[in-house]
Amino acid sequence: MPIDFLPVFLMVAVVVVLSVFILTLSRLIRPNNPYPEKNRPYECGVDHVGEASAGLFKVQYFVIAILFVVFDVETMFLFPWAVVLQDMGMFGYIEMLVFIVLLLVGFAYAWIKGALEWVS
Amino acid sequence: MDLTVIKSSVLASGPEIIVILGACVALMLSLVPRPGQGRLLAGLSLLMIALAAMMSLSLGQYPQTAYAGMFVVDSFSTYLKMLLYLGTALTILMSTSYLTAENVAKGEYYVLLLFALSGAMIMVSGTDLLIIYIGIELQALSIYVLVGFLTTNTRSNEAALKYVILGAFSSGLLLFGLSLFYGLTGTTQLDVMSEVLDVADTSSPLLALATMFLLAGLLFKVGAVPFHMWVPDIYEGAPSPVTGFMSTVGKIAAFAVVLRVLMLDLVVLDPIWRNSLIVVTVLTLGTGSLAALVQTNIKRMLAYSSIAHAGFLMLGLLAGGSDGIASVCLYLLVFTVMNLGVFAVIILLNRGADQGEPIEAFTGLARSHPGLALITMIFLLSLAGIPPTGGFFAKFYVLVALIEANHVVLAVIAVLFSAVSAWFYLRIIMLMYMGETDHPAKVQITSSMGLALIVTLIGTVLTGVLPAWFLSVAQAATEGGLG
């Protein structure tokens, strides 16, 4: 029922209020001193060479980002699984094992293919 | 859950596990390039499909649910899985020579085909909206990559990008519908959901909204008008075997979900979607048949033709009941063999993906290769729905079911559009037999390609000669599904 979702809406409200508060507060108390280097987009410590849409950019960024997301999502599944593992027993344990083994197959593939090598 | 339940669940999903294991092994093997690797991986994939098919056949006799009711093995899912195996196996047989010719013979191709197959199998067997969604995503993600497999071909890249964007969009629609259903019924499991909906008020606007989102998401996958815009572009850009795979295996899986969700489990929603589906069906038949008339690329033409066939399949849905579902099941079988047959010919006539696939490639085929031209003619006549081929009976049984359900006007419209669509199939036959050209096609039929042609030819002819037997098989499958 709608009332059950009250905590969700409260959460949304808190997030909005808090972020507005922090941004306003820092705007008021911080010194304002922009200079060119500071305004440059940050690109993982590599000198930026222009717009991404204007030319070629290293595909390795993309590959590493994708691999990061895969394992990020894996952790996202691992935490709730760990919380309810006691109730799920053997079945839950085996299920997660299968999941991780399948991920490892993909990881081994990516590794052997050289997706983790940084060619500069 | 105790060990016996786990065991029976694993056993019930055995075919899926075999296919996924096969894909993982093939993925590892593809890392060590060696001469003849393509043949090895193709053979391994075919072996895995054969094993899975045998397991499915033996499991099909014991209907059961597994994984706490999220997964089902019944005669309906077994029948459709057999079609999926057939479609994938034929695609693999056709691919080997094409990949070598296009210089993209990589092992990952077979791995992705197997993953797409397992996704489609999960779609067919899933009885939980989340499981079905996972199946759809697994199948779609694999096909996105397969569409862009010609990495140096811009059309292939463009098609892959378009497909990813539109696929993600349609998945969003579908997922939104699913989340509304979950919010309304408190479950994602189809049988529980149908119990809740039985007592629910079907005139509630929220339920109508949820149904519409679900329907739109599914129609996107099926390629029905007005959600058909992606079909021609992606069919044209994708490598030809992949186009054949998408148009058959992808369509079977999508219709399996539509049948399972709308016809078998959530029949209660029928009054909500019926009128809009009638409009969509007529538009699909019309657009598919008329737009195909002006195409000059054979794959684009077949894309519109497959839209028109999707319209016919949706007529089976509208007819409803066990007759309607059985006619859809039979139609899917016939469509698989005849469509893949035409794609086998297209692959044989391929002069390089950069050249495109102009209809003129068929010109004068009867003079240089009379046998091949005859086979092609049978496939095209079947697609047009001319007796005594399987395509005629597929359409015939859909129309019979439609008339028995008192939709005479729809049946008349369908016949009219079917007559229109006969023209563009006959145009190719005319080109083959009456066209004059200085450069008739020179083709070399490899043994695997020959096997694919023979299987599709036998399938097309046999369904035309023994339609009653195939219909009884489809009816038995439907009865099992209705349980």
- pLDDT by residue (tens digit) across B465-477? 999 999 999 999 8
What's phi and psi for B327, nearest 5 deg? -65, -35
CB within 8 Å: B5 and A91: yes
Question: What is the residue whose two structure tokens read 């705007």?
Answer: A27
Shortest CB distance from A109 goes to which of B5, B20, B31? B31
pLDDT value at B189 more than 70: yes
Range B459-469 average pLDDT: 92
Which whole-number Å values give the CA distances from B126 to A18, B218, B453, in the listed order?
43, 15, 32
| Cβ contacts of A89 on chain B, cutoff 8 Å | 1
| pLDDT higher at B438 or B272 | B272
CB B269 within 8 Å of CB B203: no
- CA angle B447/B251/B21 to nearest 5° reads 65
pLDDT of residue B131: 93
Stretch B73-79: mean pLDDT, rounded?
Answer: 92
Interface test with B, best of A62, A87, A93, A105 (most B CBs within 10 A): A105
pLDDT (0 to 100) of residue B198: 86
| pLDDT of B307 over the 90 cut | yes
Note whether B31 contacts A: Cβ–Cβ < 8 A. yes
- For B199-220, how does the pLDDT look when each residue is reduced to its tens digit (9 = 90+)? 888 788 888 999 999 999 999 9
Measured at the CA of B100, the angle between CA B95 and CA B106, to 5 degrees, comes to 80
What confidence tier does B483 reach under pLDDT thresholds 50, 70, 90? Answer: low
Tell whether B24 lies on the interface with A, counting CB pairs under 8 A. Answer: yes
Which residues of chain A does B29 touch, with a Cβ-Cβ cutoff of 8 Å?
Answer: none
Comparing A40-44, B322-326, B438-442, the range with the smallest average pLDDT is A40-44
What pLDDT band is residue A45 in, cutting at 50, 70 and 90?
A: low
Residue B329 pLDDT > 90: yes
Taking only the tens place, the pLDDT of each residue in B124-179 is 999 999 999 999 999 999 999 999 999 888 899 999 999 999 999 999 999 999 99
Looking at residue B352, its pLDDT comes to 80
pLDDT tops 70 at residue A77: yes
Terminal Cα-to-Cα distance of chain A (whole angstroms): 56
- In chain B, domain spans: 3-482
User: By CB neighbour count within 10 A (0-12 exposed, 13-18 middle, 19+ buried), where does A45 fall?
Assistant: exposed
Q: How many residues are recorded in chain B? A: 483
The Cα–Cα gap between A69 and A63 comes to 10
Decide if B28 and A113 are in contact by the 8 Å CB cutoff.
Answer: no
Q: What is the rounded average pLDDT for all residues in chain B?
A: 91
Give the pLDDT confidence score for residue A4 in this predicted structure: 79
Measured CA distances, B75 to B81, B253, B257, B329, B476 (Å): 10, 15, 15, 12, 7
Which residue in B has a C-alpha nearest to residue A103's C-alpha? Answer: B24
User: In chain A, which among 101-120 make CB contacts under 8 A with chain B?
Assistant: 102, 105-106, 108-109, 112-113
Sign for the CA dihedral angle at B138, B144, B145, B146 comes to: positive
Q: Which residue of B has its CA nearest to A110?
A: B31
Q: Could you give the CA distance from residue B221 to residue B167 in angstroms, rounded to a whole number?
A: 8
Q: Please give the average per-residue pLDDT across A100-117, as a whole number.
A: 89
Tens of pLDDT, residues B84-110: 999 999 999 999 889 988 888 888 999
Enumerate the domain spans of chain A.
Answer: 1-32, 46-120
Q: Which of A33-37, B335-339, B362-366 is the least confident region?
A: A33-37
Contacts for A114-119: CB closer than 8 Å, 24+ residues apart: A115/A63, A115/A64, A115/A67, A116/A64, A116/A67, A118/A60, A119/A60
Counting residues of chain B whose pLDDT is more than 70, the rounded percentage is 99
Please name the CATH architecture into which domain A46-120 falls.
Up-down Bundle (1.20)
**Cis peptide preceding B226, ω within 30 of 0:** yes
Q: Which of B5, B6, B131 to mutate to test the interface with A (most CBs of A within 10 A)?
A: B6
* Residue of B2, B21, B24, B184 best to disrupt the A interface, most CBs of A under 10 A: B24
* Contact with chain A for residue B4, Cβ under 8 A: no
B17 is written with which tokens?
């596990």
